Amino acid sequence: MAIKANLQIDQGADFSTDIDVLDDAGDVVNLTGYTGAAQMRKHYTSSTSTAFTVAINAGDGTVTLSMNAATSANVTAGRYVYDCELTSSSNTVSRLVEGIVTVTPQVTR
């Protein structure tokens, strides 16, 4: 089951957050061979999306979601949904995290 985590992104600014992947015993999960994908959408059935960059530090069991300033500048301020999925080397897909993204409006341009 995915963890729930809400995010806040400042429109026009760089964004980054780290997610530690732990097993039920609280031990770091080795993510060697995993790939990741993450998107945000206005609503679950929306046909348009904005992708996060997903970086995996396999040995540390850390997944980093990020978005550069140029990308966040093109996202209309408001509320969105997102998730991040990991795919193992055997093509098993699991949802790591999901939640709400609030994009706060940019004033300085």
Full-model pTM: 0.92
Q: Is 99 a member of any domain?
A: yes
Residue 86 placed within a domain: yes
CATH number of the domain bearing residue 35: 2.60.40.10
Torsion of CA 38, 61, 88, 56, to 10 degrees: 50
Domain coverage including residue 33: 3-104
Residue 70, in any domain of the structure: yes
- Per-residue model confidence as pLDDT tens digits over 29-53: 999 999 999 999 999 999 999 999 9
Residue 109 lies in a domain: no
In tens, the pLDDT along 76-90 reads 999 999 999 999 999
Residue 13 lies in a domain: yes
96 contact partners, CB below 8 Å, separation of at least 6: 2, 3, 19, 21, 36, 63, 83, 84, 85, 86
Count of structural domains within the chain: 1
